[in-house]
Amino acid sequence: MMPASVIAVLISAILLAILGRHDPKRLRNRSREVATGMSTPGLTRGMRRLLGWLVLVPGVVLTVIDQWWAFLIWMGACCALGWVTTHLLSSAATAENAT
Amino acid sequence: MFKLPQRDTKTLLAIHGWSGVLLGLLLYAVICTGVAAVFASEINDWASPLKRQQASAAFGPGLDAAVRRLAKQVDPQFHEEVAIYGSAGGRVMLLYHRHETNPAGKPSERGVEFELDPATWQTIATRTGWLEDIAEQRRASGVADFLVNLHVRLHIPDPYGLLVTGALGLAMMVAAVTGLLIHRHLIAELFTLRLGRDPVLRRRDLHVVAGTWNLPFAFVLAFTGSFFSLASTVGIPAVAMVKFGGDQEALIETLSGPPRTENKQAAMLANIDAIIADTRTRSHAEPNFVSVSQYGRADAITSTFTDLPDDTLVYSSYVYDGTTGAFLRTQPPFGTTPSIGASLVGLMYPLHFGNFAGAASKAVWVALGFAAAYVTLTGMLLWTRRREEQSAWRRMARAVHYVGYGLPLALVCAPYAFFALRDSKVEAGTSQGIAFLAVAAVAAVVAVGTGNLDRLRRRLLASTGIAMLGLPLMRMATGGLGWMESYRAGIGAVPAVDIAFVVAALACLWTALRHQHQPSKGTARARTNTTDAQTT
């Protein structure tokens, strides 16, 4: 059960980090980067949608193979990690702007 | 996400804000204590470990002999039921009791509780009286009991405390649902957090982002919490009134199955060790609660409850003939036969407590609980700061800072009194309650005397960090186990909780002392964009 949770959380966390890093609204708000032409390239709308659905795939797999403990841990961890990822990306951007 | 007419959105925003701001301070207290209570058993093992190797199983061999030996020492009237359960540091509790109406006219239990060392089965402590009095005398589980009592009923007497926390859960659900409806760009703004911008915009983003990520669990925790608070205070009496003419015992009998035909003849009790072993085989899990009703009689029944088995989210209990030890039936959490309703009721427990997969699930639930507390606090700060032109809301903003940062400080200081007075006759709840109120009073003076709210926040956070750093030292200074001793005894909870306190302390100190971000170039532009409509 635990290995399944860890793998599922890892996959979704990586995808969430990619989504967050290339999030267009977040990038628009990094005014300094845009001004200096150092902006992180955004993803196409289709790619973002694909990644968004792929984030959910590990959870779907866990329910299909009847791993409900792992599913709950995955879901909770994704919510917590998504929040933390947003903070980390924004803190990094704010620190860059301050320098 | 949902495109509602502007008037509806404004109405929902008002409901969202007022439901939060009116009950938010109490809700915040319930959530904060709930976060800590997720690790209640670990906190108890940390605060009151037994100074020897912990048993691998909660109920090891020799329990049966202990039950029989102690049964001879208590008044036979208390043989009506024997409850056996684990407590702090692996202690085993045996409560011989009978069901009566207490002096306040409410159904309760009266009897004798023995606290046993599971390695030797020797009695550590004995307590007698009504269940409420026995609970107050318990010392080993005092730290977590204080937190759990605050979480469950805010230390308000039943049923009022449960009604209050039930209402708070409903308010949290209202806030979660209205928050979902008024946030038009739920998905588009998942990663939008403008920390360097205008303070109001920053606060708005901090609240919205945390709320969005936490939304599913905020609803789940609020719903299950309300269920637990209101089921016994409103649900059962209401159903009993409608269906059983107010007879709650009849309702409970219907749900748990008819009792055995009464037979008062004396009979030998079946071996409890053997029943526990059989439960382990059937459930593939460790029993954590055993109940023997009508001990010593021919109509005795033994019921066992277990931790959740691997990959199972709904628990079952196992019912045995108390005299022969024969297995009678598996009992679902609700009713006598498996059903969707029973599964849903059973599901409430792991969803609320997060204890279904050990430390991993508990850690995730703590993170989600912390996020819920953060959402509540940032929501109240946002609401009051937006109205700070009015003096009443300025005072409210100060109250929010006081509770938001003072409550964790008071909670962390309460165990100091537990450790300092653990060998005295003062009850653990009383000593911690006095310490909690004393620190809350000092924090109130500081809150009134500190003009700048940011400085108040930093002072309270720094104090909380220092208090957290000192707690492991206080524990050790008052006779608690050192790390080497606990390592030799295999008690992982002691260093784990100590380290958790140190990490949390450093986080508090870092947050309190770090450089405050100055508003960046985009402030002016952001200010013009900051309107209530943005919240939607």
Percent of residues, chain B, with pLDDT higher than 90: 61
pLDDT at B370 (0 to 100): 94
* Facing B357 at nearest CB: one of A1, A23, A25: A1
Q: For chains A and B, count residue pairs whose Cβ atoms are closer than 8 Å.
A: 108
Do the Cβ atoms of A80 and B364 come within 8 Å?
A: yes
Question: Per-residue pLDDT averaged across B107-116, rounded?
Answer: 93
Domain count, chain A: 1
CB contact under 8 A, B214 and A2: no
Specify the range with the lowest mean pLDDT, choosing from B133-142, B259-268, B370-379, B430-439: B259-268
Please check whether residue B378 is in contact with residue B203, taking contact to mean a CB–CB distance below 8 angstroms: yes
More confident residue, B523 or B386: B386
Answer whether B211's CB lies under 8 Å from A84's CB. Answer: no
Is the peptide bond prior to B287 cis by the omega test (within 30 degrees of 0)? Answer: no
- DSSP letters for B93-151: EEEEEEEEE-TTSSEEEEEEEEEE-TTT--EEEEEEEEHHHHHHH--TTHHHHHHHHHH
Q: In this predicted structure, what is the pLDDT of residue B515?
A: 61
Return the pLDDT at B508: 95
Chain-chain contact of B191 with A26 (C-beta, under 8 angstroms): yes
For B200-261, give the DSSP string.
Answer: HHHHHHHHHHHHHHHHHHHHHHHHHHHHHHHIIIIIHHHHHHHHHTT-HHHHHHHHH-PPPP
Q: A34 to chain B, minimum CA–CA distance in Å?
A: 13
pLDDT at B527 over 80: no
**Digit-coded pLDDT (tens) for A36-92:** 555 566 678 888 889 999 999 999 999 999 888 899 999 999 999 999 999 998 877
Task: Give per-residue pLDDT as tens, B8-27.
Answer: 888 888 888 888 887 899 99
Reported as a single tens digit per residue, the pLDDT across B54-76 is 666 678 889 999 999 999 999 99
Determine, for residues A72 and B351 on separate chains, whether the beta-carbon distance falls below 8 Å.
Answer: yes
The pTM for the full model equals 0.88
Residues of A near B (CB-CB distance < 8 A)?
A: 1-2, 5, 19-20, 23, 25-26, 29, 31-32, 52, 66-70, 72-73, 75-77, 79-80, 82-83, 85-87, 89-91, 93-94, 97-98
CA distance B5 to chain A (A): 24
- Nearest Cα residue in chain B from A22: B191
Which domain, by its residues, includes A67? 2-98
Q: Give Cβ neighbours of residue B477 (< 8 Å, ≥ 6 apart).
A: B419
Considering CB atoms only, which of A32, A69, A98 is closest to B357?
A69
By percentage, how much of chain B surpasses pLDDT 70?
Answer: 94
Closest-CA residue of A relative to B370 is: A80
Mutate to test the interface with A, among B190, B314, B514 (most CBs of A within 10 A): B190
Question: Is residue B160 over pLDDT 50?
Answer: yes
**Tens-place pLDDT, residues B418-448:** 999 988 889 999 999 999 999 999 999 999 9
Mutate to test the interface with B, among A90, A91, A96, A99 (most CBs of B within 10 A): A90
For the ranges A30-39, A89-98, B110-119, the lowest mean pLDDT is seen at A30-39
User: For residue B245, what pLDDT is reported?
Assistant: 82
Q: Is the dihedral of CA B76, B80, B86, B89 positive or negative?
A: negative
Interface residues from chain B to A (CB-CB < 8 Å): 187-197, 209-210, 213-214, 216-217, 310-313, 350-351, 354, 356-357, 360-361, 364-365, 367-368, 371, 517-518, 520-522
Identify all chain B residues contacting A32, using CB atoms and an 8 Å cutoff. 520-521
Q: Do B361 and A2 touch (CB under 8 A)?
A: no
The rounded distance, in Å, linking the Cα atoms of A69 and A96 is 40
Give yes or no for a contact between B108 and B131, defined as CB atoms under 8 angstroms apart.
yes
Spatial separation of the C-alpha atoms in residues B520 and B195, rounded to whole Å: 9
pLDDT band at B522 (very low <50, low <70, confident <90, very high): very low
The interface predicted TM-score (ipTM) is 0.87
pLDDT band per the 50, 70, 90 thresholds, residue B315: confident
Whole-number pLDDT of residue B263 = 86
